[in-house]
Amino acid sequence: MTSRRAALKTLVLGALVACDSAVARLRGAQLVPIARIDDVKPGLGLRTTHDETPLILVNAGGEVRTFLAVCTHQGCPLGWNAAQQLIRCPCHGSAFNTDGRVVNGPATAPLTRMETIAERGRVMLVVRS
């Protein structure tokens, strides 16, 4: 019975993800692969780019979240601190949690979250025209 529930759960989750990507495409968005889900393991972060825009992806409890990897204080590049589970700015010490909220200043504004969809083992950035 448990294996049936697991199979049904996988099927339903797969259908929901397919719906998200189909809806995004129908609304004129382009889905751009930016990382493999396997590259963003739970508790880890990954820096990447789209065009020349720096991005940072974090896996918070199985949910991959993507942010613009630029500090909201003075625009410095951000990195991931696995030991602290924080997105850190090396320039002035600002820190952000995995929701993008400031936990240590001088930054006062949260990070810019980028819309992404996890699909077929990839993280896809939703780019609207």
> What is the span of the domain harbouring residue 84?
2-128
pTM score = 0.75
CATH code, domain with 25: 2.102.10.10
Q: Residue 58: which pLDDT band, with cuts at 50, 70 and 90?
A: very high
Q: Which of 67, 25, 73 is nearest to 49 (CA)?
A: 67
User: What per-residue confidence (pLDDT) applies to 87?
Assistant: 96
Q: What angle do CA 110, 111, 117 make, to 5 degrees?
A: 130
If one counts the domains in the chain, the total is 1
Tens digit of pLDDT for each residue in 67-124? 999 999 999 999 999 999 999 999 999 999 999 999 998 999 999 999 998 888 999 9
User: What per-residue confidence (pLDDT) applies to 43?
Assistant: 85
